[in-house]
Chains A and B, each alone.
Chain A
């Protein structure tokens, strides 16, 4: 038995972080009677520890809520909870494609944010029916009329028609559910056609293998059916077919329009990729559902174990993380300064932070993470090509940039950035974008107070601290979203840092020519503070090619002895020196210079600015 199509409603919630998405979802679970008040735990749907702590959703989830509408009929509401961050834009688009409608949830005090608008555009592009809802109307700072005007300016319609709720107290939530039934179109599909379903999420589970979430488009899936995942070719029989309501509930058939998950002894999420199509291995569809694409890392960083003994452990940890996150990449690399590690690629900065945090938290491996960088397309001077050498190459590690004289030109990735801000701050934000080599594309006043700025910006300029700077120059009121916009030629140089005359690969950076001097000077000064005095003077230099652009010296240490040492506590003194010996072992040696790992980490953390 599958559910009648005309009584299914699939919807997502579009909201900015903190605008109350998870709370609204929680209230819906209660309003439909699916979860009793006392069984309720905050943010029912956010299952990962990190998600709950940061109050964000990283993985999509889906929950099935039977709802008896005022017309007396029972409807099946499927809430597909989407990730909310720009790093996961592709995952968002797939989840939207599994829906027919979306609630646009806006904090009545904060108003629209760039991220919300970006996701709103994704929903509109996917042809979703958008239902605007104002949240937090009970807050003293709420200004519902004004925010309603902003919303109407974006999506049209009558501001008077916009629903108002307090997800905290539950006021207005039943009306939202009724509006979903009334306005979101039921899915279309053919139960007789060859089965086809869209994967919008896959999660690794140590006991059952990968749990693959899908929205059925055509046909009927049943336990035992041998399914094929079209992009990867993986096929196996379904072990478990279930829906989440809100706990897993096994089901014997999943038909058109329905949302659920299956397991099929899939060992890693790599095989069940978001956006892929699931079909019947014996009765497959001719063509996959549209829109699948391979994940493309945008931001790269070297990850090195603080203790070189941890290298095999780090490899295992990355292998295991990869089992449930197919969107990051890693390959071994070695650094003269840091030893053996991995060059990892991430969807964005948040993604990078999440992976580092999980490595630290779940595997307890202290890491030195090099400053993040982007992938450059380097075109070599045709006349200087070596035998068999390709004319262009992609460089994701600055240390691997070829010598300057062999480079014809370099392209760097740029993004289309959308910044939403109060009109008072347009000046400072434009200035910030200019210093980050931005090119203005558009400026729109959504209302008199709210402006949408569009800039083309080099990705490299926004991956360090652009967001922090944006927030601080607008007292926290601006929001940012961006999407890749191809490659742009740029005047880039490699700045090397030399210690005691030897280049330290981990500190090499690719920088715009106009900023290279300032960058070199800052790194040199920073290192001067961080590198402890040695047995001899240590010059620190920044250089472009062979040309030194900045220089400082760490003077030799002259005294360290605790002069007072007679009788007394020799035990304490011995233990102190033994501890220092242990500390010495954790030093990285660059030539004859000994550098504590912490100094490396601290120096690398300021890559941008």
Chain B
């Protein structure tokens, strides 16, 4: 069984307009204390053991399983000093049992990736780097508030390769109103030419409470168009497949063997620890999340207190719903026996509408169904 560890770094040099992750700009002074808090929280969680995380009464072993992946996300993890980041990766292995061949990923902004950073992290066990390129068009980057040069991600990929990172991902965002069809095609070409092992391509989404949402409300920026997004997704699917990157999830493509084990564990409804401000975790049907405020999180962690701000125990129907909503995202689909009962009348309608495949054992989305995954999920939920 796979199990993951997620570490959250809630700091950025500046927060991009579209981003609704738990991240803060201008709080660099809080970073050292936060790094110490992450270490303390890891120690506390490790000592408490898995029974403290699982639903009360669940049959759970007292010992930790061997973790198969570690993921540093943000925010911008590479805003931390390379030595601090490396120290955290090492500390995870001290606190918890992590497999020798575990996938160890960090997210990174292209401007932070230097030979020195790469060398330090690889030395600390890093196996995968996920570079936030977003686009190779300067007008799209400007729309997204990204402040890097479009050429920068290419140099970052080269640095990672040269530094011996075994697996390199590029994160891309399509469907920004400033993006032309040519912009997106050329972003695809550039990503493929860079020789990346993995591409995550996400549709720009208007999240409430973001600067982008406020700009849309006041007419300063346009909202993304769903039809355009569907078009771009189809272009990505065609171009990346041609380049030998296999799609394994709605938004993710990889060369064989380079699929993200950490993310697969999410989609397979696996268990993971979430450590850090606003991080979510999941253990055997119990979900919990920590204080969103870095200061509040740090206070609790450094005092040795529980950092959990909320939790829920998901009932059996809720778990089936989760397996369905997550499982349908994978190209391999979801086994019926993990999600049944489903609304069989809707299965028939969706199959007839060309959105769903049903071989009696597995439910899978078609290419047309993938951009409609949420609607399909809603329809399949038992009435």
Tell me the A residues contacting B by CB distance below 8 Å.
535-536, 555, 557-571, 573-574, 577-578, 580-581, 584-585, 592
- Given A563-B202, A570-B282, do A558 and B266 touch, yes or no (CB 8 Å)? no
Which residue of A555, A581, A592 contacts B378 across the interface (Cβ within 8 Å)? A581
Which residue of the partner chain A has the closest CB to B201?
Answer: A563
As a 0/1 sequence over residues 69 to 82 of chain B, the CB contacts with chain A under 8 angstroms (1 = contact) are 00101000000000
Contact B266 A566 (CB under 8 A): yes
The CA of A570 and the CA of B353, in the complex, are separated in Å by 28
Contacts of A580 in B (CB 8 A): 374, 378
Contact B322 A567 (CB under 8 A): no
| A-B contact sample (15 more), CB < 8 A, given A558-B230, A559-B372 | A535-B349, A535-B355, A558-B372, A559-B203, A560-B375, A563-B250, A563-B251, A564-B205, A565-B329, A567-B280, A570-B266, A570-B280, A584-B378, A584-B379, A592-B349
Minimum-distance CB pairs A-B, first 10: A559-B371, A558-B230, A563-B203, A559-B230, A559-B226, A561-B373, A535-B353, A563-B202, A580-B378, A581-B381
Tell me how far the C-beta of A154 lies from the nearest C-beta in chain B, rounded to whole angstroms.
Answer: 55
Assuming the contacts A563-B202, A585-B383, asked whether A573 and B372 have C-beta atoms less than 8 A apart, the reply is: no
- Distance in Å: Cβ of B16 to nearest Cβ of chain A: 13
CB of B212 to closest CB in A, whole Å: 13
User: Is the CB of B312 closer than 8 A to any CB of chain A?
Assistant: yes
Q: Decide: A558 near B371, CB < 8 A? Known: A535-B355, A567-B266.
A: yes
Are B372 and A577 in touch, CB under 8 angstroms?
A: no
Chain B, residue nearest A578 (CB):
B321
Query: Which residues of A are found within 8 Å of B250, using beta-carbon distances?
Result: 561, 563
> Do residues A560 and B226 form an inter-chain contact, with CB atoms below 8 A?
yes
* Inter-chain contacts of B314 with A (CB < 8 A): 571, 574
Q: By the criterion CB–CB under 8 Å, are A557 and B226 in contact?
A: yes
Residues on B lying within 8 angstroms of A by beta carbon are 6, 71, 73, 202-203, 205, 226-227, 229-230, 233, 250-251, 263, 266-267, 272, 274, 280, 282, 287, 289, 312, 314, 318, 321-322, 325-326, 329, 349-350, 353, 355, 368, 370-375, 377-379, 381, 383
Complex interface: chain A residues within 8 A of B73 (CB): 567
**How distant is B153 from chain A, measured CB to nearest CB, in Å?**
19
Chain A positions within 8 Å of B280 at CB level: 567-571
Q: Is B378 touching A577 in the complex (CB atoms < 8 A)?
A: yes
Taking the nearest CB of chain A, how far is it from the CB of B18, in angstroms? Answer: 10
B202→A564 contact, CB < 8 A: yes
- Most chain B beta-carbon neighbours within 10 Å: one of A562, A570, A578, A585: A570
CA distance A568 to B312 in the complex (A): 14
* B321 in complex: contacting residue of A536, A561, A565, A577, CB < 8 Å: A577
* Known contacts A559-B233, A578-B321; A567 and B371 CB within 8 A of each other: no
Q: How far is the CA of A567 from the CA of B287 in the complex (A)?
A: 11
| Cβ contact within 8 Å between B251 and A564 | yes
**Which of B203, B274, B372 is A567 in contact with, Cβ under 8 Å?**
B274
- List the A side residues contacting B226 at CB < 8 Å: 557-560
B326 / chain A contacts, CB cutoff of 8 Å = 565, 570
Chain B residues with Cβ below 8 Å from A563 are 202-203, 205, 229, 233, 250-251
**Bound Cα distance from A272 to B335, whole angstroms:** 69
> Considering the chains assembled together, what is the distance between the CA atoms of A48 and B381 in angstroms?
47
* Chain A residues whose C-beta falls within 8 Å of the C-beta of B266 in the assembled complex: 566-567, 570
Is B263's CB under 8 angstroms from A566's CB?
Answer: yes
C-alpha gap A564/B134 in the complex (Å): 13
Chain B residues contacting A562 (CB-CB under 8 Å) are 205, 374
Shortest C-beta distance, B131 to chain A (Å), equals: 16
How far is A560 from B205 in the complex, measured between Cα atoms in Å? 10
With A and B bound together, what is the CA distance between A569 and B278 in angstroms? 9
Name the A residues within 8 Å of B227 (CB-CB).
555, 558-559
In the complex, 7 of the A-B residue pairs with CB atoms within 8 angstroms, ordered by the A residue number, are: A557-B372, A558-B226, A558-B368, A559-B226, A563-B251, A577-B321, A581-B378
